Homo-oligomer: A and B are copies of this chain.
Amino acid sequence: MHSPSELLKHVEQAISEIQYPTYPGNLYQPISYIMSLGGKRVRPTMLLMAVDLFSGDIRKALPAAMAIETFHNFTLIHDDIMDNAPLRRGKQTVHEKWGTNTAILSGDVMMVEANKHITNVDVSILKPALDTFNATAQGVCEGQQLDMEFENRSDVSIPEYIDMIRLKTAVLLGGSMKLGAIVANAKPEEADLIYAFGENLGIAFQLQDDILDVFGDPEKFGKQIAGDIIANKKTFLLLKLQELASKEDHAKLIGQFVNKNNEDKIKHITDLYHNYKIRELATQEMKNYLDKAYSALRKIAIPEARKSEIIKLAEELMNREY
């Protein structure tokens, strides 16, 4: 059994060994750039943890881990174009640095690079690995489309929201772990269980993100506190409040959407959250998904001791205050 930090080292080592073509330079430099911006490499690390869980060979899983991390970073390049984002991990985004056209095209070729990585898994598992990889990639695109569409809709329901975050972020965590299971020659039903673990953990993680944005420790939370409130972002908290609020409170909320005084706006909307116990309701929803995740993990017929590292990492992810 490897610890998450040991597995992370394998991931970082493998990333540093990827060789991209050098010509045309402007096509490939953005790829090296975004891959070198860091990040927690949660997805490939979780993939390797799934390999370890099913007693597979870590080294054999590196092509799948690189495929997932490369695909994830490709989506960041294209998402940043769509969101018109100037910064990614504190650095210029690719489209800011190289222009939109090159960012589109570097993203495209990066997806080809991801496909090349996944094609390097053992040929005996190539077909199921590709099926899982493609289904995952498709889900992520669908999630991003829904996220964009929800910005312009005022009638997003909570089930729609959960489905959006599932597709946009949780499917990739589930897919990563399922790929790990496939590489380790786990049984299909075990691969599905670890997928369910990853997907439900991903949804719980995203719900926690919504909660921490408002109620996290401002000193530990990496982003502007209550940034979602300022941006009128349709999070679980806001959608739940809209669902429960009286006509009067709903009108108050709508009024706050155009409040230009951020401090005042945060205070008023947080007060509404308190009145309707939105934090508690969101925490309960998050715990429901966490329970689903652990329930799937428990069903995997492997001694509980082998699951300890995955549980430890999941707890670390979920017990953050930021």
Contact surface of A with B, Cβ cutoff 8 Å? 21, 23-24, 26-27, 78, 81-82, 101-102, 104-105, 107-109, 111-113, 115-116, 119, 123, 126-127, 130-131, 134, 137-138, 141-142, 144-146, 148-149
Contact = CB atoms under 8 A, between A and B. Distances in A.
A121 to B, nearest CB: 10
B137 A105 contact: no
Contacts of A115: 115, 130, 134, 137
Given A127-B123, A134-B119, A146-B24, A81 B109 contact: no
A104 B119 contact: no
15 contacts: A21-B142, A24-B145, A27-B145, A81-B104, A82-B105, A102-B148, A104-B104, A105-B145, A108-B111, A111-B111, A113-B138, A115-B130, A123-B127, A126-B126, A126-B127
A178 to B, nearest CB: 16
A105 B141 contact: yes
List the 6 closest pairs (A to B, CB-CB), nearest first: A109-B141, A27-B145, A82-B101, A119-B130, A24-B145, A112-B137
Contacts of A104: 78, 81-82, 104
Nearest to A141: B109
Nearest to A23: B142
Contacts of A24: 142, 145-146, 149
Given A119-B127, A119-B130, A142 B27 contact: yes
**Oligomeric state, in number of copies?**
2
A202 B105 CA distance: 22
Nearest to A27: B145
Contacts of A27: 141-142, 145
Given A115-B115, A123-B127, A127-B119, A148 B101 contact: yes
A141 B127 contact: no
Contacts of A23: 142
A146 B105 CA distance: 11
Nearest to A116: B134
A99 to B, nearest CB: 9
Contacts of A78: 104-105, 108
A115 B126 CA distance: 13
Contacts of A130: 115, 119, 126, 130
A160 B27 CA distance: 16
Contacts of A107: 108
Contacts of A131: 119
A145 B82 contact: no
B127 A109 contact: no
